[in-house]
Amino acid sequence: MLSSLEILNAKILIVDDQDTNLRLLTRILANAGYTSVASTNNPGEVCELHRRNRYDLILLDLQMPGLDGFEVMEALKVNEADDYIPVLAITAQPAHKLRALKAGARDFITKPFDQAEILMRIHNMLESHLLQIEAKNYGEFLEQMIDERTATLRESEELFRHAVEACPSGMVMTDDGGNIVMVNGEIERQFGYRREELIGRPVEILIPERMRGQHVDLRERFFACPESRTIGTGRDLLALRKDGTEFPAEIGLTPVAARSGLLVMSVIIDITERKRVERLKDEFVSMVSHELRTPLTSISGSLGLLLGAGVEESHGSAHRLLTIAQRNCQRLIRLLNDILDIEKMESGKLTFNFERIAVVPLVEQAIDGIRNFAESHGIRLRFDAAAADAEVEADSLRLLQVLTNLLSNAIKFSPSGGEVIVALGSDAEAVRISVRDHGPGIPEDFRPRMFEKFAQADSADGHQKGGSGLGLNIVRQIVDRLGGEIFFEDAPGGGTVFHLTLPNPTQDRRPSDGEPAAPGGSDVFPPAEPRAVAG
């Protein structure tokens, strides 16, 4: 929308051979507020003046000696690409009015002048002309924006095509009828089809015939509730090549909203190599279990019999060598057991049998089972049970494994003659078991790696305390599966305390994978009289 100021600032040229008329028109326009008014009595210089100044309005007298107004208009049109000339003709001849309009004038005023008519016609013509310029500029702006957006869209489409083609996974896009509308080069490589052989065909062409009926049902269910998901994980999903051979696949589905309707982008991964590696790993685990662990267990047992019955300490070096051999066998067995546990947990094959169990007897069982190990290191064990009737819902064997590992670590890192304390407490949300040693503590730079695989911290003398470095990683995975939390902190007066928290079953909360129990400070467990003391 034009403002009055824009109209009053328009550039105007008055052309008349009579100086009296020039002065009169100039005064009328100045009194009306027009700010940019020029005049000339030489019609021969109009074209040059307009070329330099691009006037918004030219008041042109038609009857001038030498070069009349009609000739000036013809000369002006030569330099205008669209034949538009901003001329308001001035004439005293009624016959000239129609001729002026045909010659290109936009309007006319008659002599003698009527001031009101002059101002009205000038205002109307300027308003119309400036609006046309504004509309033209806006149209050019819109056209430029459209060109830029179109170029951006083309660039985005090109980038999308390059990304799709460069994707190492196969990509298939289908419409709501299950027909293929787009594939990438990896699909051609995976399935052996040319692109043009697939476009427009049902996606079931890529699925073994015995599975196609089931796939149609799955596709209809997906469109009923479209959301990104992965299929093929944890079960065998097969794809069919052009030559009739099949390969295992994992497929990710993503809904894509388009003008034509809902489309589905399927990302297809050939997991043949993954399956081969998994098979090799299964074979390795089987070999470890049957070809290594079983013989080692037998050897360790035989060495134990020799030490217990056939070779006494009086035999000197023979007894020492047998002891070292048995100890190394047991260390290898523990390493193999840790590797097997890690593999089972990562593959989801480790089973958990949840039941309501009393915590105190289980802790006492763990302490009794490791008593000899503690005595061999000169360590006393103490159990402080502030919550004697505490119960949890857990797998007793796996929880016992966690406690044994925590106690073993505490014993190994405690100085001879020291004490390892096990504390039991509970609150409304959780049951907590804490294991404290009086060792040198955990180095700051090692703490972020505490629960990583094969992580081992050095003791105060700069030597590692043995073990596979898998124990705490296994502990954390088991505790996660039990729905609890494992963490550690510096103990008052030195040493480290590990806290194991499990949900309190009195709150009607069953543990679930990945659901942590509520943490709390060690001060929620008040001291209690010792229940068992060893060493």
Model confidence over 77-108: pLDDT tens digits? Answer: 887 766 688 999 988 888 888 888 888 898 88
Question: Structural domain boundaries of the chain?
Answer: 4-139, 168-270, 283-346, 355-534
Peptide bond into 519 cis (omega under 30): no
Place of tokens 């929880």: 399
CA distance 30 to 36: 9
CB 258 within 8 A of CB 182: no
CA distance 210 to 246: 12
Q: Is the pLDDT of residue 193 over 80?
A: yes
Residue among 418, 410, 422, 414 at smallest CA distance from 383: 422
The two three-digit tokens of residue 268, written as one number: 């297809």
- The CATH class, in words, for 355-534 is alpha beta
What does the pLDDT average to over 229-245?
A: 78
CB 17 within 8 A of CB 64: yes
CB 522 within 8 A of CB 499: yes
The two three-digit tokens of residue 326, written as one number: 């048995």
Q: Helix/strand/coil (H, E, C) string of 373-385? A: HHHHCCCEEEEEE
Domains 4-139 and 355-534 agree in fold: no
The two three-digit tokens of residue 248, written as one number: 């295992």
The two three-digit tokens of residue 8, written as one number: 């009053």
Q: Is the pLDDT of residue 3 over 70?
A: yes
CA distance 273 to 124: 80
Quick one: pLDDT band at residue 386, thresholds 50, 70, 90?
Answer: confident
Residue among 175, 179, 205 at smallest CA distance from 192: 205
Model confidence over 420-453: pLDDT tens digits? Answer: 999 999 888 899 999 999 988 888 888 888 888 7
Q: Is the pLDDT of residue 348 over 80?
A: no
Q: What is the DSSP letter of 291?
A: I
Q: Is the dihedral of CA 464, 465, 470, 472 positive or negative?
A: negative
What does the pLDDT average to over 336-357?
A: 79
Q: Is the pLDDT of residue 519 over 60?
A: no
CA distance 64 to 534: 129
CA distance 318 to 311: 8
List beta partners, residue 435: 422, 498
At CA 164, angle to CA 158 and CA 165, rounded to 5?
90
The two three-digit tokens of residue 354, written as one number: 């949840």
Helices (H), 91-114: 94-103
pTM: 0.46
Model confidence over 53-71: pLDDT tens digits? Answer: 999 999 999 988 888 999 9
Strand 430-436: give its sheet, edge to edge: 485-490, 496-503, 430-436, 419-426, 380-385, 530-534
252 phi and psi angles, rounded to 5 deg? -105, 130
- Looking at domain 168-270, does it have CATH number 1.20.1250.20? no
CB 187 within 8 A of CB 171: yes
- The CATH class, in words, for 4-139 is alpha beta
What does the pLDDT average to over 132-140?
A: 86
Helices (H), 240-316: 272-287, 294-305
First to last CA, the chain: 97
Element at 263 (helix H, strand E): strand 261-270
Q: What single letter denotes the amino acid at residue 448? A: P
The residues, ordered by sequence, that sit 6+ positions from 479 with a Cβ below 8 Å of its Cβ are: 402, 485, 486, 500, 502
